[in-house]
Amino acid sequence: MTATTDDPREPVDPASLLPEDSVLSFEEYMAMQRAIGEPTRFRVLHYVSATGESSPSELEDALDLPGNALHHHLNTLMDVGLLEKRARSEADCEGLFTYYRPTAFGRAILDHGVAELLQAEPEYLEMYGDDE
């Protein structure tokens, strides 16, 4: 990391917190955080991550989402780099399908962001619990 000061009270340019060879900009990381902060997109990414890959029809059924809303959320998650789309190269008895799967960043934001925060909740509750 290339933070410019050792004093945590000093304002720091957020971009300076990234490694020098970062593949993403600070703004791209923030776009990922904003995307995953929307509950439906979190549900979509969580489901796709849990299943490995899912077709739109599987997602519509599993998450009870209409197709137009689902595709809006899928596109947003792809735009920020949390999901990727692939098409089956050979048709089966039902034809060709598009599948969505999490990117490395999609898995990481769940595993090292939201999941770690949720797992640490008991500790936080103990630290900041009711003072009554």
pTM above 0.85, yes or no: no
Average pLDDT across each block of 10 residues of the chain; the chain has 132 residues. List them in order.
Answer: 62 80 86 93 96 92 94 97 86 72 92 73 71 51
pLDDT of residue 61: 94
pLDDT of residue 1: 45
Please state the domain extents for the chain: 15-128
- CATH match for 15-128 among 1.10.287.1060, 1.10.3720.10, 1.10.10.10, 3.55.50.30: 1.10.10.10
Gap between the Cα atoms of 104 and 113, Å rounded: 13
